[in-house]
């Protein structure tokens, strides 16, 4: 590495670029703090002095000013000068009242608990991937504290809401009479599918604590509650029967092959000869490049290692299906609105 003299035009070095990667957690931690103090809400549509923002967020003014400077270089706020700041288009996504709000995602993915899991990566690399829950039949999602579960569900709803329309446009659900959404959360995806497919009936299945109240509101707001049955239960015990298709969005990637096989076998047991299994999942490439879709798949694949899950390739899905008495028949690309690229797929399988 050489030192440039004063006559050399300024250009960022490779070392500077790598340094930004090394310190990437500075920005993610700052964003998590923004979400926790609801700073974006405090700024709103205005240009606001940092001392006023400190009052609104109950923070120390000079300390908050340093945070705002980092947010300015990260492109989340405009530094108007004289200590006044306004939100950028990116910053507005951290408002709780934004239709496309990433507020819950920032609380979840950049929160202390999630970051602490990533610090375990070194230990995980030196051992076999751990199972999500070593207890036979155990489901850690059923053990989340209520406040954590609330943030988790809000974050997952963001991803589902901004994927749902793309799934509806990519896949023909009109061929089915009844669709069961297994692990369907608050019903965001199922509501979108039912709204777009007037003759279709639905079954929403998830843990009782998940579907108790929010699911009914979601389905009612979409005007499809009268066409949907809401069922509480554990998909490692049993899933509802009587559906023409079984839909699982971002469920299988949470689990290792053993638990995934157990879950898929439960679904297979409830399937009729002509019914379909539909997974909405990322299908990871055989080789990774710099494209956004590849980066998202790589993030997810390594992140799921910490849970015991995985993003799988088409060949891995074929093998997993075969082990559960299923056969892969089609992989349909999907371009979610929140990514703008083909970053997920509908994976169709039938009883073998």
Residue numbers annotated as active site: 253
- Which residues have a Cβ under 8 Å from the Cβ of 169 and sit 6 or more positions away? none
Q: Is 98 exposed, middle or buried (0-12, 13-18, 19+ CB in 10 A)?
A: middle
How many whole angstroms separate alpha carbon 292 and alpha carbon 352? 35
Start-end of H helices in the chain: 14-22, 24-37, 39-43, 50-57, 61-73, 89-92, 103-109, 112-118, 121-125, 146-170, 188-196, 208-211, 214-221, 257-270, 292-305, 314-323
3-state secondary structure of 321: helix
From residue 176, alpha-carbon distances to 164, 205, 249, 276 in Å are 18, 18, 18, 9
């Amino acid at each position: 590495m050489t030192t440039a003299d004063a006559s050399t035009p300024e250009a960022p070095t490779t070392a500077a670029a790598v340094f930004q990667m090394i310190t990437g957690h500075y920005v993610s931690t700052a964003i998590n703090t923004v979400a926790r103090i609801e700073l974006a809400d405090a700024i709103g549509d205005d240009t606001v002095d940092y001392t006023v923002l400190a009052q609104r967020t109950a923070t120390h003014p000079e300390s908050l000013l340093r945070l705002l400077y980092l947010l300015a270089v990260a492109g989340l706020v405009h530094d108007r000068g004289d200590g006044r700041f306004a939100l950028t288009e990116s910053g507005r996504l951290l408002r709780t009242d934004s239709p496309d709000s990433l507020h819950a995602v920032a609380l979840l993915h950049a929160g202390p608990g999630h970051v602490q899991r990533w610090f375990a990566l070194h230990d995980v690399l030196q051992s076999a991937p751990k199972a999500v829950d070593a207890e036979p039949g155990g489901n850690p999602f059923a053990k989340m504290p209520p406040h954590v579960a609330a943030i988790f569900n809000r974050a997952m709803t963001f991803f589902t809401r901004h994927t749902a329309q793309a799934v509806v446009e990519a896949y023909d659900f009109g061929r089915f009479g009844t669709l069961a959404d297994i692990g369907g959360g608050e019903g965001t995806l199922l509501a979108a599918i039912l709204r777009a497919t007037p003759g279709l009936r639905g079954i929403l299945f998830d843990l009782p604590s998940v579907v108790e109240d929010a699911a009914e509101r979601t389905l009612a707001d979409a005007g499809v509650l009268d066409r949907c049955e809401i069922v509480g239960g554990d998909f490692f015990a049993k899933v509802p029967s009587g559906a023409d298709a079984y839909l699982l969005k971002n469920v299988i990637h949470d689990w290792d092959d053993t638990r995934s096989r157990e879950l898929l076998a439960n679904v297979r047991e409830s399937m009729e000869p002509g019914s379909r299994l539909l997974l909405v999942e990322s299908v990871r490439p055989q080789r990774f490049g710099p494209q956004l879709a590849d980066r998202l798949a790589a993030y997810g694949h390594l992140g799921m290692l910490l849970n015991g899950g995985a993003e799988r390739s088409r060949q891995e899905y074929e093998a997993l299906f075969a082990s559960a008495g299923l056969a892969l028949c089609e992989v349909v690309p999907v371009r979610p609105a929140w990514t703008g690229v083909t970053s997920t797929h509908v994976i169709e399988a039938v009883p073998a």
